Amino acid sequence: MIIGNDEKLLMIGDSITDCERARPIGESRFGGGTGKGYVAQVEALLHTRYPERNIRVVNMGISGNTVRDLKARWQTDVVELKPDWLSIMIGINDVWRQFDSPTIPEAHVYIEEYEATLDELVAATKPTVKGIVLMTPFYIEPNREDAMRATMDQYGAVVQQLAAKHGARFVDTQAAFDRVMRHLYPATLAWDRVHPVLSGHMTIAKAFLDEIGFEWD
């Protein structure tokens, strides 16, 4: 497993990451500071499996964020916290607003802006950390012809390309959900096909952990 002794992992994103994390910094004594979602699950599995490594997990997700919002708070919420490892999962709101708020165009973040901004953030941060993990946004809808799913897949492809370009680690959360959706209808996993129940968060957590070399036994 790639995260070493006393290293800090900072995970940033939107509401999927946030999940009621502590403010202003997403950590706390006696637990709960990393929220109730996949970040907390990652932390729990790391602490249980590697208690000797004393790994610090910090959740900096904020609900509703797009990549445009990440850029605006990058200095205070990433750079100044000096992580050793950084994970980024962003893009769901960038796409969703195009579909749930068609009358509010200023809330849409189109794919050019998405790619350019994410590219800029990764490029600037890569030299300062031991590693970056780029995670795709996802949509818990199995029909790839669905308009929003199709758009989300395009944003996911951008993430994959940027990971390759920058030598970042890559987690395909959409593929992870696709595997589960072969057996479960989306309504079992998420009220709105976006915010998963704990089982869905665990799907994300497992995909992340597999990428960083976590071993159950």
Query: Which are the catalytic amino acids?
Result: 15, 192, 195
User: 6 or 120: whose CB is closer to its own copies?
Assistant: 6
Choose one: 10-18, 91-99, 108-116, 160-168; the region binding its own copies (CB under 8 A): 91-99
User: 42 or 121: whose CB is closer to its own copies?
Assistant: 42
Is 206 a residue that touches its own copies (CB under 8 A)? yes
Is 150 a residue that touches its own copies (CB under 8 A)? no
What's the 3-state SS for the chain?
CCCCCCCEEEEEECHHHHCCCCCCCECCCCCCCCCCCHHHHHHHHHHHHCHHHCCEEEECCCCCCCHHHHHHCHHHHCHHHCCCEEEEECCHHHHHHHHHCCCCHHHCCCHHHHHHHHHHHHHHHHHHCCEEEEECCCCCCCCCCCHHHHHHHHHHHHHHHHHHHHCCEEECHHHHHHHHHCCCCHHHHECCCCCECHHHHHHHHHHHHHHCCCCCC
Is 112 a residue that touches its own copies (CB under 8 A)? no
Q: In angstroms, what is the minimal distance from the CB of 216 to its own copies?
A: 3
Is 15 a residue that touches its own copies (CB under 8 A)? no
What is the Cβ-side half-sphere exposure of residue 110, based on CA atoms within 13 angstroms? 4
C-alpha separations of 214 from 6, 40, 82, 143, 205 in Å: 16, 15, 23, 31, 11
Distance CA 159, CA 103 (A): 27
Query: Which one among 23, 24, 112, 217 touches its own copies, defined by CB under 8 A?
Result: 217
Choose one: 67-75, 83-91, 152-160, 198-206; the region binding its own copies (CB under 8 A): 198-206
Query: Which one among 52, 80, 112, 127 touches its own copies, defined by CB under 8 A?
Result: 52
Choose one: 10-18, 47-55, 76-84, 113-121; the region binding its own copies (CB under 8 A): 47-55
Q: In angstroms, what is the minimal distance from the CB of 96 to its own copies?
A: 7
Is 211 a residue that touches its own copies (CB under 8 A)? no
* Interface residues toward its own copies, by CB under 8 A: 6, 8, 27, 29-32, 36, 40-41, 43-45, 47-49, 51-52, 54-57, 96-97, 99-104, 143, 145-148, 179-180, 182-185, 187-188, 191-193, 197-199, 201-203, 206, 215-217
